[in-house]
Amino acid sequence: MIEFPGTEQEVRQLERFLTATENLPSDEGLGDMRDRALAHAERLSNAVNIGFAGEFGAGKSSLANMLAGADILPTGPQHLKLPLVIVAYSETPETTVGWWDREPKIYSGIALEKAAADEPDFISVGLNTPALKEISLFDLPGTGALDDNYKETLDLLKYVDCAIWCTNGTNAWRETERHLWVQTPKELRENSLLAVTHADLPHVSGSLDRVLSRLNKEKGDLFRSVIPIGTPVAVRAMAQEPEPDFALWETCGGQDLAEQVLEIASARRLADLEAAQTDLKQDFLPYLETLDIPEAETQHTEAASMHATLESALPPLENPILEDWLAAIASIYEDLREASAIEPAAFLNSCQEIVEDFAERLEQGGEIDPAADWIPGEFEKATDLLLLLQFESGDAPLKDAISILAQLSDNLAWAGSRVDSAQSKTGT
């Protein structure tokens, strides 16, 4: 299993530097440091971009679907003309229609046809797929032999960190493909792969050894490696029940391609992380020391914001169990303020323990309105959710935990109230 390096600590340090210097008089030196810090924070907070490019009919969209684990992009002969399509992580499926010079439009669910009708510059499809937290997939428009699409493809390749150039195994690596690819930056070529598609077809597989021998001699510094892939076979292998056919997945090239993509993406993330660490050590943190700003002032901005969000969601009611609940929640924030940094695991564990204690207290009965017998079940469910969040990484689990606490507070405000204008009940 290829592990991506964690970036949470460095992102917090970068945000601390940017917050502390936001309102300082600007000069050339500080401006340069802020630009670099912003660039590092953006790089480390976003996924690594993997691009899929190739001539029409090379199978790039099928390959992108395979790695995304979902049949999202249209494949084969079709009349739907699409611009750049980005497949990225999203909590709920959604389709964003984007233009370079105006505000985007968002559709719920997967709506490529509706999005294409708006004639956008690009389309982003959001999927709740864990792998997409680390990598985003860029499906570039197909190119034709030396037509105007070549320029568009070259322009779009600037946005990717690694490219997979798909060449049709029936006539692999034509001169028109090479003509475009040699114009890409050397850094991109070093992080890119040449995928020989349709390797599962009989007339291709029969001469595959000879084709691969030729391509490995010709690739030079144009690609990191050449990988044959039978995409339909790979999809079929992973769709087997009750578990994927891993032997077939390996022999068709799926495993080799997936591993190399993840290796390249992980190496890129590590390089970005090391660059940020160098700037933090040499420039950003020493500069903060000259400002003599207490570290806690900048580190707990997010916690204070979360606390304010929680408090603003609560109505002022005379409600004993709600008051005890708020006191317990406040103790968590006090611990955060006294700590040198926000530890997500410790915070989530504290939340879980408090919710569990109140779930047991509610089960004893007598403290909430009899009509609110659904409330104890909400606390039990929240206990399970908070436990699961402890196995996730990043800042998202912290925000999810705050939402859970706010919702439970809202529930208790209704359940413990004896006023006639009690709020309508809502679930976690």
The 10s digit of each residue's pLDDT in 318-342 is 567 888 888 888 877 676 666 555 6
How many helices (H) and strands (E) are present in the chain, helices listed first?
A: 19, 9
Domain membership of residue 261 (yes or no) is: no
The CA R_g of the chain, rounded to the nearest whole Å, is 26
Q: How far apart are CA 82 and CA 280, in angstroms?
A: 41
Of 305, 395, 275, 298, nearest to 343 (Cα)?
395
Domain count across the chain: 3
Same domain, yes or no: 309 and 245 = no
| Confidence band of 317 (pLDDT split at 50, 70, 90) | very low
Same domain, yes or no: 307 and 357 = yes
Same domain, yes or no: 84 and 31 = no
Q: Are 138 and 60 in contact (CB under 8 A)?
A: no
Greater confidence (229 vs 352) lies with 229
Greater confidence (123 vs 425) lies with 123
Give the range of the structural domain holding residue 93, as residue numbers without chain letter. Answer: 46-252
**How does 175-214 read in b/e, with b if 16+ C-beta sit within 10 Å?**
eebeebbeebeeebbebbbbbbbbbbeeebeeebeebbee
Decide: helix, strand or coil at residue 123: strand
Beta strands per DSSP E along 271-363: none
The 10s digit of each residue's pLDDT in 55-76 is 888 999 999 989 888 888 887 6
Compute the average pLDDT of residues 191-198.
Answer: 95
Same domain, yes or no: 182 and 85 = yes
Compute the average pLDDT of residues 364-388.
Answer: 82
Q: How far apart are CA 148 and CA 131, in angstroms?
A: 34
Answer whether residue 314 shows pLDDT above 70. Answer: no
CA 29 to chain CA centroid, Å, is 33
Output the average pLDDT for the chain.
84
Same domain, yes or no: 158 and 287 = no
Compute the average pLDDT of residues 353-371.
Answer: 83
Domain membership of residue 310 (yes or no) is: yes
Domain membership of residue 422 (yes or no) is: no
Same domain, yes or no: 232 and 143 = yes
Q: Are 50 and 269 in contact (CB under 8 A)?
A: no
pLDDT at 242: 85
Same domain, yes or no: 70 and 136 = yes
Domain membership of residue 79 (yes or no) is: yes
> Is it true that the peptide bond before 242 is cis, omega within 30 degrees of 0?
yes
Neighbours of 96 (CB within 10 A): 19
Compute the average pLDDT of residues 102-130.
Answer: 92
pLDDT at 423: 39
Domain membership of residue 426 (yes or no) is: no
What does pTM read for this prediction? 0.68
The 10s digit of each residue's pLDDT in 12-71 is 899 999 999 988 887 889 999 999 999 999 999 999 999 999 988 899 999 998 988 888
The 10s digit of each residue's pLDDT in 264-279 is 999 999 999 999 999 9
Distances 254 to 102, 195, 230, 238 between C-alpha atoms, Å: 39, 11, 8, 9
Beta strands per DSSP E along 188-291: 193-197, 225-228
Q: At what angle do helices 28-45 and 8-21 cross, to 10 degrees?
A: 150
| Confidence band of 422 (pLDDT split at 50, 70, 90) | very low
Same domain, yes or no: 180 and 313 = no
Q: Are 153 and 58 in contact (CB under 8 A)?
A: no
- Edge-to-edge strands of the sheet including 84-89? 105-108, 94-98, 122-127, 84-89, 135-139, 48-54, 162-168, 193-197, 225-228
Domain membership of residue 343 (yes or no) is: yes
pLDDT at 335: 67
pLDDT at 378: 87
pLDDT at 43: 93
Greater confidence (367 vs 25) lies with 25
pLDDT at 162: 93
**What secondary structure, in 3-state letters, does 126-159 show?**
EECCHHHHCEEEEECCCECCCCCHHHHHHHHHHH
Same domain, yes or no: 39 and 130 = no
Domain membership of residue 260 (yes or no) is: no
Of 159, 158, 195, 203, nearest to 177 (Cα)?
195
Domain membership of residue 353 (yes or no) is: yes
Same domain, yes or no: 163 and 24 = no
Residue 104: give its domain's CATH number. Answer: 3.40.50.300
Q: Are 416 and 317 in contact (CB under 8 A)?
A: yes
Strand partners, 138: 51, 86
- Classify burial at 355, counting beta carbons within 10 Å of its beta carbon; exposed 0-12, middle 13-18, buried 19 or more: buried
Same domain, yes or no: 334 and 387 = yes
Same domain, yes or no: 32 and 133 = no
pLDDT at 366: 76
pLDDT at 299: 47
Last residue of a domain, one of 220, 252, 284: 252
| Confidence band of 390 (pLDDT split at 50, 70, 90) | confident
Q: How far apart are CA 115 and CA 391, in angstroms?
A: 35
Compute the average pLDDT of residues 391-400.
Answer: 75
| Confidence band of 181 (pLDDT split at 50, 70, 90) | very high
Greater confidence (233 vs 75) lies with 233
**What secondary structure, in 3-state letters, does 20-73 show?**
HHCCCCCCHHHHHHHHHHHHHHHHHHCCEEEEEEEECCCCHHHHHHHHHCCCCC
The 10s digit of each residue's pLDDT in 123-144 is 999 998 888 888 999 999 887 6
Q: How far apart are CA 391 and CA 397, in angstroms?
A: 9
Neighbours of 368 (CB within 10 A): 20
Answer whether residue 347 shows pLDDT above 60. Answer: yes
Answer whether residue 372 shows pLDDT above 90. Answer: no
Q: Are 398 and 333 in contact (CB under 8 A)?
A: no
Q: How far apart are CA 47 and CA 240, in angstroms?
A: 29
